[in-house]
Structure 1
């Protein structure tokens, strides 16, 4: 569903490990106060122990810590392109703010147009203009206290015309992903694309000159095969190699230290073994995610229960690894041909995110457009359902977020 939607936009160019406490006294105090409860291994002193980047900026360290702690009480609600994709092209505030009075807690963006072959960095270039708009949106979100996340619908390396496997020849599908690996014929091409990504990371700054932390989720939905990096087109080891190279290059070669890295398959995995089959390792992943549209596609409570069981699986893995859990994409798109599902947000999605005491840090809806919406803007029939969802005890828009870029004292 979402992939078809993206295509339209493109075609129109548009085991809990206890750690040392900070002092023996603190440890004794904890035992005396509550001897039956396991202490949370994550502290403000040891955060980087569990992060990909031991040299992450202080704001990025704070984001990791606060996202992990947030999930105990709240789920941050976000949307892709919230500041520039509106239902019926009705601009102004985000559609979430039109509905609830508050902006989302998280903004989704994409490197797609930024790394496009047609972006020539000239002011009159449409792709460059999209890059500038994206950067402006990210800065605005950060200034509001929101969380920023980037996906990357990277065009295939041969002709750079599409990110969909369906648009490629059999030979291209069989060779494209392998070609960007170290030693591959398109490896230098891929490094050039990463150079552009790094330049964006390194120039995203807040009002005091500090680098803005970004959640980056490369090669998402890789368990499906609609993208050229999908499971049919690379082995698990090849996928891991590409992911690891991407992180190492950005962090070690380009000096990017304001990134958290998200591992984000689609919803096919139902066991920890399958989920981790292409996992690049704890040294390369901060956030364990899942994109899930299918379980919410008019399947009622049955689908919500399936989604919850998958999120619980991920959350359990994340608890052991001391990582963050997220529903990295979801939604049910309402169009003229698809009417809203009663209580989709307030009952089905909310139960998927909160049942069985799971700890999920954030959920992100896909973008609204002129002809369809994932989030009601305040003037449609399921407006109240979303507003009810957004005001439930575990739901958080930007007004309910703590200071995400400061470690608590």
Structure 2
């Protein structure tokens, strides 16, 4: 396999470097490729690797253009810490090839820093420990079909000023964020109608919109400034330790607020609202249903709450519905205040331990049958 090395400067009008076949390209630390009106690099072929330690820039068209999805595939782009890819007026990295990998340790900047469309069953992998910044649109945009998958592992910084920071259309998404993803004007993450997964261990600024499909959002180890929308489908939404708003929308969703005073919305379907420990108290549950097709449950962890609770549907003797929050005997564990919808937990029912507010469930006459010990 041949390798084209650029150790000096290629600067001017038109495409500065065109590479086909299986030829790799290396842009050294002192390398500069700059087009003022077209692609800086055009790579058409398969099984090619582009390694950038210098600068690649265009002030006219896409900075680096990869392939044609009908024939080209298996491209890998490695941007080292000293590497820069800059698209002044268009995409920095643009690809239509099937199976595309970006390993970014450096800096990618452009209207769309990474913009791709793929054929069916394609895999896109983006590993970012550097910086990806959109000056106008989304920092990462990928479209494809629902049999494909975009995998993003971010330990660096992904930033967008005007649109979604990460925008995935039609193709599935699996994202793990241990860094920072920011949109100043829209969603931090916008996913597709496929079955998507977002695990946030870092910081997200902007809403997370997962659209249709059976999706997962796990923010237990991270922070978010924004709301989480599961979209239609059977979603699992796990909040972190801050106050958050989690929307299940249509489908049979499982929602766990975590710490903080969360706003939990189930929407249509048979939803479950999970409390694993008493420290997760103080949430508000809206849209709680008790009818066919919208028959929700509150799930309480036996290990986390103790208090002699047996697994299964809560026994009627463990529940009271009153105009206050006072247990009546030693069997009572959950008391619904009919005045405001407050659901209180009393660990002994005797008054020796103060009852605590577990959640507000307004506009619903809860019964013991709505609570399940797991």
TM-score (norm 2): 0.23
Q: Answer 1 or 2: higher relative contact order, Cα 8 Å, separation at least 6.
A: 1
The structure with more radius of gyration: 2
* Structure with greater helix percent: 1
* Structure with greater strand percent: 2
